[in-house]
Structure 1
Amino acid sequence: MKAIPYGRQSIEKTDIDAVIETLQADFLTQGPKVKEFEEKFASYVGSKYAVAVSNATAGLHISVLALGLEPGDRVITTPITFAASANCIRYGGGEVWFADIDPNTYLLSIEHTKRLIESKPKGFFKGIIPVDFGGLPVNLQEFRDLANEHDLWVIEDACHAPGGYFVDSQNIKQNCGNGNFADVGIFSFHPVKHIACGEGGMITTNNKKIYDKLLSLRTHGITKENMSENHGGWFYEMKELGFNYRLTDIQSALGITQLAKNNVGVIRRNEIATKYKNAFEGKVKYQSLPPNTYNAHHLFVIEVNNRKGLYDYLRNENIYAQIHYIPVHTLPYYREIGYQDVDLSNAENYYAHCISLPMYPTLSDEEQVFVIEKVLSFIE
């Protein structure tokens, strides 16, 4: 069997043609394709606004700044995520506080978050960054209610979940990143994600003030809004210290064609997940699916007792499973700044057993059967 990675991009002729067309056009960056991608992405998730950025980490960074994060502010997030979900708080001079995960969904636990918030005086925390881990949507209505009670903002890290949704208490489908409960949503266009642009990210929001702030921070804090007849077309003002976090037209052209295929890709991901579940039911623990929730399945994670043994065994069979993730609070940087003694037993227990199996739309039935057979032969 050829090498089977845990995830990979799918680039077709339509994607290649779109990039070539842009390469032959007038703009390679700061042109019309960026705006087109933003508008189509906002329409897809159901948000009012979308801001394309160079990567999701950049999106997280300027989002915490747009929401008013100041040095010393405290923000809660999950320890089971890529480091960027926490690092963005540090970029703004804030303090990261971790709440434990639910041991079955692997998502930030609303109960642990509530307990942490209520253990401190009101005003102690500034915001919450829940993560749609593996593609499974967080119930943001619950987090919004908690945030409103304590005057907190909410950033939805939806990097794993374009196409995912949950159904709220009014029986309304809430797409990941639609901005109805979170102040902003963040998406990633890394090659192993649903929508591959090489690198890239998108920020979504329904708040015009936040949107305008994001546009400014994305491009050096520069604006032309005060240009008048007294100035030529060259005129601009830098009103604040921003960054160069722009996405190119080349990447945006690819993003547009990739976005158009995402619904089909998510359906295929769920077909693969169903086959895994049918094969592993009663034998292997996997991420649970809450009622009225649609998992976009960036990952399919299982838990096993001998994780390192299975990891090595699969690699010997040309199956390149991966581990998602080392708990952020255990990474050397966070240990050294005081996180070595936190009690996050669910996260640490999860990490001791987790392994992500191949999950991507072009995974063939034959390849998946091979993966399943090898996993079962090892654990049995």
Structure 2
Amino acid sequence: MTRALPYGRQLIEDDDIAAVVAVLRSDALTGGPAVTGFETALRSVTGARHAVACSSGTAALHLAAMALELGPGDAVIVPSVTFVATANAARYVGAEVVFADVDPATGLMEPQHLEAALKRCGTARPRAVFPVHLNGQCVGMAELGELARRRGLFVVEDACHALGSVQGGRLTGACSSSDMAVFSFHPVKTVAMGEGGAVTTADDRLAERLRLYRSHGITREAADFLQPAEAFDAGGQPNPWYYEMARPGFNYRASDINCALGTSQLAKLARFKTRRTELVEAYGAALAPLAPLVQPVGRRPDCVPSWHIQVVRIDFAAAGTNRAKVMRALAERGISTQVHYLPVHRQPYYRALYSDTALPGADAYYDRCLTLPLFVGMENAEVERVVAALKAVLS
């Protein structure tokens, strides 16, 4: 029987299940050694000095905005082709969002797009840029990071699509050209935690803030206490029950259950990346006869992607159809597809908040993009099946 193909799914194996069961049989379901173990493993695969685990990629973005102390009057530059969470994180702290355009072939923000967005900040003070690595490919961070530094901007990489990607010989997440990088471990990502996220950074001070804000803003470190009369006994020893909250944070902790799964999955990252690359190459060969009607996304020559999703660009008008019809026809054949993404500047909240911005690259990318199935457990024959179905639907 032909199986249904989702656009993405996790691969959970027996050792992943065993890792979770071991935590369930332990004394610590949260706040225990599995969290530290996951952070150590993530530092290893990203080359980061610090890795701070949290409950989701969205939480990671919010924590990064808080750690940078962004707030009202500040402007954060965000490419419009991304998930809404990238922009929303700026709004969570009261900052303004200025949307940047992207390359219509790759969906990635380039330095010229950042320069154009900076000219549209109005009275808001530009403080940060959140470049987004899309589909597994990376923004040109060396150039973008250098421009951001010259403009006095903090840089937070939204690397939720790019765990394991390499650019210019540098691992994504090492933060060689940024202040922080954020990751998601949602089930459709390359590595799954169920739900989970993380922030990496090379900055000790930012790492300390991230850890503080992910757990209600509470500290139990005696050196940080601000109320000595409350904190210490007559002998100068910290009271064993005492903690302080100087600033409010959130309950953004990741559990040991999620982190045990994440650590087990991180050990397979190289294998997962290799298999996803093989499938993307199989797609490339199978799709070639459909050009120019159907084309893969443009490639950056300086990036070795860890592919997250398989996006193609389709000239629906030339095919005499539209995206909705194509998606429905593929679904009837057991093939699920998706769109990544409706440009965020076209979402009703942001349209009401800001006047419409002309971002032709983002609109052009969105008008043609379609996400086809890609996951580690997929067979090459299923790639052929997807492309054959797409060809039949378009013709």
The 5 Å alignment of 1:315-330 reads 315-330=331-346
Contact 1:123 1:151 in 2 (8 A): no
Change (3 A) 1:207 1:122: farther
1:292 aligns with 2:302: yes
Q: Secondary structure at the match of 2:362?
A: helix
Supply the RMSD in Å over aligned alpha carbons: 1.5
Q: Could you tell me whether the CA contact under 8 Å between 2:105 and 2:365 is conserved in 1? A: no
Instruction: Determine helix, strand or coil for the equivalent of 1:148.
Output: helix
Cα pair distance change 1:294/1:368, threshold 3 Å:
same
Retained in 2: the 8 A contact 1:135–1:296?
yes
**Residues in 1 aligned to 2:209 and 2:216: alpha-carbon distance in whole angstroms:** 11
| Residue among 269, 273, 277 paired with 2:276 | 269
1:216 is the counterpart of 2:212 = yes
TM alignment of 1:1-380, pairs within 5 A: 1-118=2-119, 124-167=125-168, 173-226=169-222, 230-281=237-288, 282-283=291-292, 284-304=294-314, 305=316, 306-339=322-355, 341-380=356-395
Preserved contact between residue 75 and residue 121 of structure 2 (Cα < 8 Å): no
- Residue of structure 2 in register with 1:170 after alignment: none
- 1:153–1:182 CA contact under 8 A, matched in 2: yes
Q: Note the alpha carbon deviations across 1:82-140, whole angstroms, 9 max, x for none.
A: 10000000001011101111011111132121233256689831110011111111111
Q: Which amino acid aligns with 1:353?
A: R
Counterpart AA for 2:274: I
Task: Give the count of matched residue pairs.
Answer: 374
Q: Which entry has the higher C-alpha Rg, 1 or 2?
A: 2
Q: Is the 8 A contact 2:273 2:306 kept in 1?
A: yes
Q: Which moved more, 1:120-129 or 1:92-101?
A: 120-129
> In the aligned structure 2, how far is the partner of 1:331 from the partner of 1:119?
19
Partner-residue secondary structure (3-state), 2:378:
coil
Q: Aligned partners of 1:57 and 1:32: how far apart in 2?
A: 24
Unaligned ranges ≥5, structure 1: 168-172
Supply the AA of the counterpart residue of 1:238.
M
Rounded to whole Å, the distance in 1 between the matches of 2:353 and 2:190 is 34
Q: Shift of the alpha carbon at 1:377?
A: 2.1
Please give the secondary structure, in 2, of the residue aligned with 1:134. coil
Question: Aligned partners of 1:138, 1:60: CA distance in 2, in Å?
Answer: 17
- SS of 1:198's equivalent in the other structure is coil
Q: Is the 8 A contact 1:74 1:96 kept in 2?
A: yes
Alpha-carbon distance between aligned partners in 1 of 2:141 and 2:297, rounded to the nearest angstrom = 18
* Structure 2 counterpart of 1:378, one-letter code: V
Please give the TM-score of this superposition, normalised by the length of structure 1. 0.95
TM-superposition CA deviations, 1:195-218 (whole Å, max 9, x none): 111101010000000000111101
- Contact conserved, 1:289 with 1:295, CA < 8 A, in 2? no
Name the TM-score, length of structure 2 as normaliser: 0.92
Verify the 8 A CA contact 2:110 2:144 in the aligned structure 1: no
Deviation for aligned residue 1:328? 0.6
Tell me, in whole angstroms, the C-alpha distance in 1 between the residues paired with 2:41 and 2:121.
42
Instruction: Tell me the alpha carbon deviations over residues 52-103 of structure 1, each in whole angstroms, 9 at most, x when there is no partner.
Output: 0011111100101111202121010111111000000000101110111101
For the residues of structure 2 that align with 1:131 and 1:231, how far apart are their CA atoms?
A: 44
Partners of 1:110 and 1:142 within 8 A in 2 = yes
C-alpha deviation, 1:235, in angstroms? 1.8
Q: 1:52·1:246 contact (CA, 8 Å) conserved in 2? A: yes
Aligned residue type for 2:83: F
